[in-house]
């Protein structure tokens, strides 16, 4: 009787083991296939590329949902796309009744050695890169200085090193400085127009060797730029049209 029970128990155990094998075989086969698949060189790059494509696609959809509609119209010449205002007007900062020219140019960071050497200021036993242009009249005579662009006067100073100076804030992120002046005709807060007389050329200690001249500097977002990319002597204003308008407050 006991032997019969043992035989039945052994038979049941064998059947249970076969069932477990039948259950485990599909999983084992699947795991093996997965391991073989992942062992291929191209699998991981493909996964990464697929994930990247998905992320980029989601970012594109999000950007399109948040993008502002466009009109499809073109911006007319002479206006800026950002503001729609007329393009900035720039004129030569000296009247045309006296012939003026550049006596020292802007220091070119990427210029040749000779170009850079010609734009160095020697002062107090040291050399300094010229961050603007010097404008002189023929014969070294004094001349009227005019605003190169319309804007608001933000500073008027009498600097012991640079002479009398005027600073004007101009639209588009520009700051314009007029230095080495002997006379200033504006005060802080004045609005000036392009071609309006704002002062008179003079001398300064920093560039004593230049004699009577105007140091003209333009900064774009705080960084000096070559003024000759914006103005040229051909854009000089006549003395008659450069007269300060009535109602101005000369200083």
pTM summary value: 0.62
pLDDT value at residue 170: 97
Looking at every residue in the chain, the average pLDDT score rounds to 75
* Burial category of 73 from C-beta neighbours within 10 Å (exposed 0-12, middle 13-18, buried 19 and up): exposed
For residues 24-50, average pLDDT: 52
Question: Which tens digit of pLDDT belongs to each residue from 96-137?
Answer: 899 999 999 999 999 999 999 999 999 999 999 999 999 999
pLDDT at 86 over 90: no
pLDDT tens-digit readout, 128-158: 999 999 999 999 999 999 999 999 999 999 9
The mean pLDDT value for 173-186 works out to 98
Alpha-carbon distance 217 to 133, whole Å? 7
pLDDT of residue 233: 84
DSSP bridge partners of 137: 100
Confidence label for 89 from pLDDT (cuts 50, 70 and 90): confident
Domain 100-235 CATH assignment equals 3.40.50.2300: no
- Please state, in angstroms and rounded to a whole number, the distance separating the CA atoms of residues 181 and 147: 13
Mean pLDDT within 79-103: 73
Higher pLDDT pick, 200 / 240? 200
Q: What is the mean pLDDT of residues 176-205?
A: 98
- Does 73 have pLDDT greater than 50? no
What distances in angstroms separate CA 13 from CA 9, 20, 27, 28, 68, one per listed residue? 6, 11, 22, 22, 72
Residue pair 64/56 in contact (Cβ under 8 Å)? The answer is no
> Based on the number of CB atoms within 10 Å of its own CB, is 152 exposed (0-12), middle (13-18) or buried (19 or more)?
middle
- For the chain, what percent of residues have pLDDT higher than 90? 55
Report the pLDDT value the prediction gives residue 234, as an integer from 0 to 100: 74
Residue 245, pLDDT score: 44
Query: Looking at residue 87, what is its pLDDT?
Result: 60
Q: What is the dihedral of CA 58, 62, 65, 67, to 10 degrees?
A: -130
Residue spans of the domains in the chain: they are 2-66, 100-235
- At residue 26, does pLDDT exceed 70? no
Position 18 confidence tier, pLDDT thresholds 50, 70, 90: low
Mean pLDDT for the stretch of residues 23-51: 51
Between 83 and 1, the more confident residue is 1
pLDDT in tens, 194-229: 999 999 999 999 999 999 999 999 999 999 999 999
Q: What percent of the chain has pLDDT over 70?
A: 59
């Amino acid at each position: 009787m006991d032997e019969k029970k043992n035989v039945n128990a052994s038979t049941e155990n064998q059947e249970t083991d076969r069932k477990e094998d039948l259950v485990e075989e599909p999983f084992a086969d699947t795991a093996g296939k997965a391991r073989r698949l992942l062992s291929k060189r191209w699998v991981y790059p493909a996964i990464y590329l697929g994930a990247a494509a998905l992320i980029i696609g989601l970012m594109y959809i999000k950007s399109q949902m948040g993008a502002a509609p466009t009109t499809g119209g073109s911006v007319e010449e002479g206006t800026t796309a950002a503001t729609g205002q007329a393009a900035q007007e720039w004129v030569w900062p000296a009247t045309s009744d006296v012939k003026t020219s550049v006596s020292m140019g802007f220091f070119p960071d990427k210029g040749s050695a000779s170009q850079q050497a010609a734009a160095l200021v020697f002062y107090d036993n040291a050399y300094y890169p010229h961050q603007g242009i010097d404008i002189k009249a023929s014969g070294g005579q004094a001349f009227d200085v005019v605003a190169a662009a319309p804007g608001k006067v933000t500073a008027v100073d009498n600097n012991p090193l640079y002479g009398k100076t005027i600073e004007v804030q101009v639209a588009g992120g520009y700051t314009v400085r007029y230095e080495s002046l002997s006379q200033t005709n504006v005060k802080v807060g004045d609005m000036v127009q392009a071609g309006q007389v704002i002062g008179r050329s003079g001398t300064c200690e920093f560039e004593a060797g230049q004699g009577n001249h105007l140091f003209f500097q333009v900064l774009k977002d705080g960084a000096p730029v070559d003024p000759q990319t914006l103005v040229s002597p051909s854009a000089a204003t006549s003395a008659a049209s450069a007269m300060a308008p009535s109602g101005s407050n000369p200083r």
